[in-house]
Amino acid sequence: MNCQETRRYWDLFYDSEGDAELHFQLNEHLDNCVECAEWFDKQSRLESLIEQRLGVAASVELAPQVNWSSVLTGAGVTPAAKSRSWLFFSSSILALAASLLLIVGMYGLPFGDESPSLSYLSAEVHQHVSAGSLRPEFESRSDIEVDQYLLNKVSFPVRCPPRKDSGFAVAGAGLCELSQQPAAYVVGTVDQRPVSIFVLSKDSLDAFPKQRAELQRMQLTTCREGDTEMVLSIVDRNLVLVAGNVDSAKLTRVLKSYGTYPHTL
Amino acid sequence: MALPDREKAERFVAYLEPIQHQLAVYCSRALNRADETADVLQSAVATAFRDFDKYSEGTNFRAWMFRYVTLETLNRNRAAMRLPSELDEQQLSAPRTLDITSFRLETLLDDPDAVLDHCDEVVAESISQLTDQECRILLLRAVGDFKYREIAEIMDIPIGTVMGLLSRARTQLRSKLLDYARQHGLLSKGDSA
Ligand SMILES: [Zn+2]
């Protein structure tokens, strides 16, 4: 395959379409042609930035505009009054359909007008990941691959996952929303036990008054929901929460090593 | 009219809830008037719920539901005599590769953030200038994360058409972004040429 042919297949390559043979040939060319490899990278980066603008970037401003309960009522869909939490729903469906996007909205959560805390929502997601009822949309044991995956998925910067010497072995990553705040999560293990790292924009702190007040008093806070220990801090432009069923000293070590890698870009 | 079966409604909502947000983003982007989003979703949901007995358990509910929303957005835009529909024929005969000088495209590729950081509105506006089909295919791919085969099923068109139109939609969108960037001096490396 020459350069021109290779580039003609960029769409298929980018969208992971076409057969294995085609991808083999494309990869073979890209491995041996720096110009095309660079060209593919640039095309893909631009496209994923555009997609981000079309999808994720629209989410924050759009979410409040659609009142789903009135949409459903207006459409004649009237299930029995909700007694379950939203997360219960989403996880069972996700387990079935392996849906790509988990949106942890406040809708239906048993909190009345008060927003659930960041720790409550993070612990819920972490428990579903630990139990296997939620699989991250991207699975890899390479921190660089996970970093690359998250690079253009959210509108705020996300740093590279913690290094292995912090005791954290990465396994994958995904996206979610916590009280309508976009978040990236990185999953992995510490001492073979599941640990999840949630990364939000620092600005999201306004949606969680309890945590905001705590972080105004101290740099790093710890808390617990059920069996899940959590540590929370602001790192550069991110709000970072590490959750796991291991002691908080180990979680703190993971948190402190978050973002100590210089970003690859 | 008989009241809808509670169990059917519960099952439907359980399927719908995880994709509500994606549907809302898709719908608002696909509509000429974003303020009609809730109304269009309501019509699509009503029709899908009516047909929910025909949905076979275990198949792709997400694609099934997106089909209803796609049809509803198309109907709504056509009813509003959306301008791009009138241009369909003209656009279909346009060359697939637009006249983007390689230099200008290079500058966009080298520093896409410089342009895209200013372009949220432009991206939204530009997709509304695509043909209905191109716009939906691009959104189903970018927002819905569907495979070509699924898009073909949702749109009821051949997979080859999906590929061709997606490629053209991407080219058109880049061209619009470049135009905007040039007009607003966002391409730093001397694009005044
Ligand atoms: Zn080459």
Domain harbouring B168, CATH code: 1.10.10.10
A77 contacts B49? CB cut-off 8 A: yes
**pLDDT, one tens digit for every residue, chain A (265 residues):** 899 999 999 999 999 998 899 999 999 999 999 999 999 999 998 898 888 778 754 554 545 468 888 899 899 887 765 433 333 323 333 433 333 233 333 333 344 445 678 888 888 888 878 877 777 888 888 887 888 788 777 777 777 777 777 788 888 888 888 877 888 889 999 888 899 999 998 888 888 888 888 888 888 899 888 888 999 998 888 899 999 988 889 999 888 888 665 443 3
Q: Which of A62, A77, A177 sits opposite B4 (nearest CB)?
A: A77
Those residues whose beta carbon sits under 5 angstroms from the ion ligand 1 are A 3, 33, 36
Angle at A82 between CA A81 and CA A86, to 5 degrees: 160
A75 contacts B49? CB cut-off 8 A: yes
| Number of domains forming the structure of chain B | 2
Q: Is the pLDDT of residue B129 over 60?
A: yes
B124 with B75, same domain: the answer is no
- The residue ranking higher by pLDDT, B96 or B49, is B49
| Contacting residues of B for A61, CB less than 8 Å apart | none
Tens of pLDDT, residue by residue over B7-23, are 889 889 988 988 888 89
Tens of pLDDT, residue by residue over B43-92, are 999 999 999 999 988 888 999 999 999 999 999 888 775 444 444 444 44
What is residue B39's three-state secondary structure?
helix
B106 with B188, same domain: the answer is yes
Other beta carbons within 10 angstroms of residue A112's beta carbon come to 6
Q: Return d(Cα A228, Cα A194) in angstroms, integer.
A: 10
Question: In sequence order, what are the residues at sequence separation of 6 or more whose Cβ sits closer than 8 angstroms to the Cβ of residue B134?
Answer: B165, B166, B168, B169, B172
Task: Determine the residue of chain A that is closest to B8 in CA distance.
Answer: A79
The architecture that CATH gives domain A136-256 is: 2-Layer Sandwich (3.30)
Q: In 3-state terms, chain A is what percent helix, strand and coil (to 5)?
A: 45, 20, 30
Q: Which residue ranges make up each domain of chain A?
A: 3-114, 136-256
B38 with B87, same domain: the answer is yes
Asked which of B94, B125, B145 is the last residue of a domain, the reply is: B94
Nearest-Cα distance to chain A for B89, in Å, is 24
pLDDT at B4: 55
A226-to-A116, A178, A230 alpha-carbon distances in Å: 15, 19, 11
ipTM of the complex: 0.80
B80 with B111, same domain: the answer is no
Q: What is the 3-state secondary structure (H, E, C) of A170-199?
A: EEEEEEEEECCEEEEEEEEEECCEEEEEEE
Q: Return d(Cα A207, Cα A211) in angstroms, integer.
A: 9
B114 with B37, same domain: the answer is no
What is residue A73's three-state secondary structure?
helix
Angle subtended by helix axes B159-183 and B102-110, to nearest 10:
90
pLDDT at A105: 36
Hey, what amino acid is at A140? S
Mean model confidence pLDDT for chain B: 79
Ligand 1 centroid – CA B98 distance (Å)? 22
B12 with B79, same domain: the answer is yes
pLDDT at A261: 52
Asked which of B43, B70, B94 is the last residue of a domain, the reply is: B94
B116 with B79, same domain: the answer is no
| Contacting residues of A for B61, CB less than 8 Å apart | 97
Q: Look at residues A79, A64, A90 and name the one whose alpha carbon lies nearest to residue A174.
A: A90
**Burial of A189 from C-beta contacts in 10 A (0-12 / 13-18 / 19+):** middle
pLDDT at B2: 44
B50 with B119, same domain: the answer is no
Asked whether B151 and B143 are in contact (CB, 8 A), the reply is no
Question: In sequence order, what are the residues at sequence separation of 6 or more whose Cβ sits closer than 8 angstroms to the Cβ of residue B87?
Answer: B131
Q: Is the pLDDT of residue B147 over 60?
A: yes
Q: Is the pLDDT of residue B192 over 70?
A: no
B77 with B112, same domain: the answer is no
Q: How many CB pairs under 8 A join A and B?
A: 143
Question: In sequence order, what are the residues at sequence separation of 6 or more whose Cβ sits closer than 8 angstroms to the Cβ of residue A210?
Answer: A117, A118
B10 with B73, same domain: the answer is yes
Q: What is the extent of the structural domain holding B152?
A: 98-193
The single-letter DSSP state of residue B163 is H
Asked which of B42, B75, B94 is the last residue of a domain, the reply is: B94
pLDDT at A132: 74
Ligand 1 centroid – CA A49 distance (Å)? 24
